[in-house]
Structure 1
Amino acid sequence: MNREEIKKILPHREPMLLLDEVVLNEDGSATGYYKVRGDEFFLQGHFPNNPIVPGVIQCEMMAQSACALFQEEMKAGTLPVYTGLDKVRFRGMIHPGDQIKIDVSLVRKSHPLYALKGVVSVDGKKCMSGDFSFAIISEEN
Structure 2
Amino acid sequence: MTNSRNIYDYLPQRVPFLFVDDIEQLTDESVITVFKFPKDWDVFYGHFPRYPIVPGTILTEAMAQAATILALHVHSQRGKLGMLVKISDAVFRNQVGPNDSIRVTGALRQQVTPFYTISVALETNNIKAATAELTIYVGDVNV
| Superposition map of 1:67-106 within 5 A | 67-69=68-70, 70-71=72-73, 72-75=76-79, 78-106=80-108
TM (norm. structure 2) is 0.88
| Residues in 1 aligned to 2:115 and 2:27: alpha-carbon distance in whole angstroms | 23
**Alignment-derived partner of residue 43 in structure 2:** 42
1:43 to 1:115, Cα distance in 2 relative to 1, 3 A = same
How big is the shift at 1:25?
Answer: 4.8
Paired residue type of 1:109? Q
Contact 1:38 1:97 in 2 (8 A): yes
Letter of the structure 2 residue corresponding to residue 74 of structure 1: R
Superposition deviation, residue 73 in structure 1: 0.9
Please give the per-residue CA displacement for 1:43-81, whole angstroms capped at 9, x wherever unaligned: 331111211011111111111112222231131xx3211
Shift in Å at residue 27 of structure 1?
7.8
Instruction: Quote the offset at 1:90 in angstroms.
Output: 0.5
The structural deviation recorded for 1:4 is 2.6
The residue type paired with residue 98 of structure 1 is D
**Would the aligned equivalents of 1:74 and 1:136 in 2 still touch at CA under 8 Å?**
no
- Give the Cα–Cα distance (whole angstroms) in 2 for the partners of residues 14 and 123 of structure 1: 23
CA distance in 2, matches of 1:83, 1:27: 21
Pairwise CA distance, 1:5: 1.7
- TM-score, scaled relative to structure 1: 0.89
Aligned equivalents of 1:65, 1:133: Cα separation in 2: 12
For 2:10, what is the secondary structure of its paired residue? Answer: coil
Per-residue deviation, 1:26: 5.7
Structural RMSD (CA): 1.7
Q: What is the number of residues matched between the two proteins?
A: 139
Counterpart contact for 1:46–1:52, Cα < 8 Å: yes
Match of residue 66 from structure 1: 67
* Structure 1 unaligned spans of 5+: none
Identity of aligned residues (%): 27
Consecutive unaligned residues of structure 2, counting only runs of 5 or more, are none
Distance 1:73 1:25, change over 3 A: closer
